[in-house]
Amino acid sequence: MTTKAWSLFLLQLALPPLPAPGQTNQPLVATAQPVLSPTEQAIQNIKHPVSWLSWGSDLRLRNEYFDNLLTLNPNNSLHEQEYFRFRARLWTSVNPVDDFSFNIRLASEPREWLNPAGYTPMKGRVGPDWTEGIFDTLNVQWKNALELPATLTVGRQDLFLGDGWLVGDGTPYDGSWTYYLDSARLVYELKEQHTTIETIGIIQDAHDDGWMPVINAGQHRIETEQNEKGAILSVANTSLRALNINPYFIYKHDNAVAGAPRGADNTDIYTMGARLTGLLGQNWKYSVEGAYQLGEKQDPTVQYPTVSSDYRAINAFGVNTKAAYLFKDKYNNQLSLSYEFLSGDDPNSKNDEMFDLLWGRWPRWSEIGLYSYAAETRVGQQANLHRFGPTWTVTPLKDLDFSASYFALFAPEQIPTREASPTLFSHEGNFRGHFAQAVLKYKFSRHLSGHLWSEFLFPGDYYVHNDLMTFLRAEIMLTF
């Protein structure tokens, strides 16, 4: 399907889907496992040939189009981007003895650029980008370690804490090709106290071949702007249904590397925060997360009040909240209201007030929110932000999900102190714009799913150019 054809279809997603029979919410009762079809049973037998070995694979096919996001300027020759992404992954898990496993996954994502690339080593060119193969999982896991209620995982692994606000993606520059962090994670469960204690140590290299070789290495790719080290302590208690408590402490140390993209820094950041979640009655659920940051940062992209290579004291904070009402009807209607605040750097202060998302630079709520920050801070480094608005989700048919969101976006500080070009920001407005999103997802079968995704930002007076920002995507995912 051509980009124009499915783009027109996506524009219609803002209209509510027609009513159709759906599933009702059934009580949680024990049910027998469904009998697998002969074909599905054969697939499971292939994937689990022996008791100590399992494997699988998936293939994700995407066509993405966006306009004005990277450049924030319709007059820039790279303002319009379109490409195909072909991500393939193959993984296996070996369990030689009880409670011990070795896990490995290989991933690659070639692209075909239809317009001159706005980023990656293909910048300014069209055609195929074959990329390399990366081991994005390579770890050993020990459950019931030392006969304790503890699980230890050491090596390359995906880490996602809470809803991923501060820890969700260690490789922001490859665009969801990988998410890994090279780390050691110990999870200790006190079941009688309904408490989980986690400690994590992170040593992340900026390059994809920093810790281990890649396959068909045609590029020396950067996955983040600096070499990073970190330590995390998290305690979660779920004793109360209405109030789950999760305080945490995160330390992050950055060392800028030569040749890194704009925005590399030298930093020591100390983050202290907590996340509260719960269910109120039968229909309400909520989450509230807040964090304060201190430490020091050396960031050569800071332009205000003066350009300086000095370390600046960090004094930043952020809040991320959401409240949802669950109708619990046959269409699984849900209506939620979100509010997020990320402090911006005060241009009149010698300190650094910009909140740092740490390892949370992924499209948590928006692809536009990821790419549009490239000229303001760096890709995915959202800051200087007020975001609030509603989201509606519904399941009109079995295996069909639809969601629609609107957010009003504001900037607490009129001046983005790390701006790449002063001609892109007005320095006179606080309104970032009106954001709208519509997403349609469908699961065709156990092994095939897909979605259509659309986002639009109508820019406000914070920007110089007020041309519509657009992001459109069509995806098919095959899983074996």
Q: What are phi and psi of 142, to 5 degrees?
A: -125, 110
At residue 261, the pLDDT reads 84
Question: What are the pLDDT digits (tens) for 141-169?
Answer: 999 999 999 999 999 999 999 999 999 99
At residue 218, the pLDDT reads 66
For the segment 6-28, the average pLDDT, to the nearest whole number, is 37
Per-position b or e across 262-280, b if 16+ CB within 10 A of its CB: ebbbbbbbebebebbbbee
Q: Looking at residue 5, what DSSP letter applies?
A: H
Q: What SS3 state is found at 4?
A: helix
For the cut 60, the answer to whether the pLDDT of residue 13 exceeds it is no
Q: What's the CA angle centered on 293, arms 193 and 388, to 5 degrees?
A: 85
How far apart are alpha carbons 105 and 138 in whole angstroms? 7
Question: What are the pLDDT digits (tens) for 246-304?
Answer: 999 999 999 999 888 888 999 999 999 999 999 999 999 999 999 999 999 999 999 99
How far apart are alpha carbons 315 and 298 in whole angstroms? 14
Q: Please state whether the peptide bond connecting residue 19 to the residue before it is cis, i.e. omega within 30 degrees of 0.
A: no
Asked if residue 83 lies in contact with residue 115, where contact means CB atoms within 8 angstroms, the answer is yes
Percent of the chain at pLDDT exceeding 90: 83
For the cut 80, the answer to whether the pLDDT of residue 29 exceeds it is no
Cα-to-chain-centroid distance, residue 340: 16
Question: What are the pLDDT digits (tens) for 373-427?
Answer: 999 999 999 999 999 999 999 999 999 999 999 999 999 999 999 998 889 999 9
Among 112, 138, 100, 328, CA closest to 215: 138
For the cut 50, the answer to whether the pLDDT of residue 16 exceeds it is no
Asked if residue 301 lies in contact with residue 345, where contact means CB atoms within 8 angstroms, the answer is no
Among 248, 247, 320, 245, CA closest to 278: 245
For the segment 228-248, the average pLDDT, to the nearest whole number, is 98
Question: What are the pLDDT digits (tens) for 183-211?
Answer: 999 999 999 999 999 999 999 999 998 88
At residue 27, the pLDDT reads 41
Q: Which domains does the chain have, with CATH numbers?
A: 51-479 (2.40.160.100)
Helix/strand/coil (H/E/C) assignment for every residue in 222-277: ECCCEEEEEEEEEEEEEEECCEEEEEEEEEEEEEECCCCCCCCCEEEEEEEEEEEE
How far apart are alpha carbons 300 and 287 in whole angstroms? 36
For the cut 80, the answer to whether the pLDDT of residue 12 exceeds it is no
Question: What are the pLDDT digits (tens) for 427-461?
Answer: 999 999 999 999 999 999 999 999 999 999 999 99
Q: What SS3 state is found at 420?
A: coil
How far apart are alpha carbons 86 and 131 in whole angstroms? 11
Q: Which residue has the higher pLDDT, 262 or 115?
A: 115
Q: Please tell me the pTM assigned to this model.
A: 0.90
Asked if residue 163 lies in contact with residue 150, where contact means CB atoms within 8 angstroms, the answer is no
Among 20, 361, 352, CA closest to 175: 361
DSSP letter for each residue of 301-326? T--SS----S-EEEEEEEEEEEEEEE
For the cut 90, the answer to whether the pLDDT of residue 35 exceeds it is no
At residue 2, the pLDDT reads 44
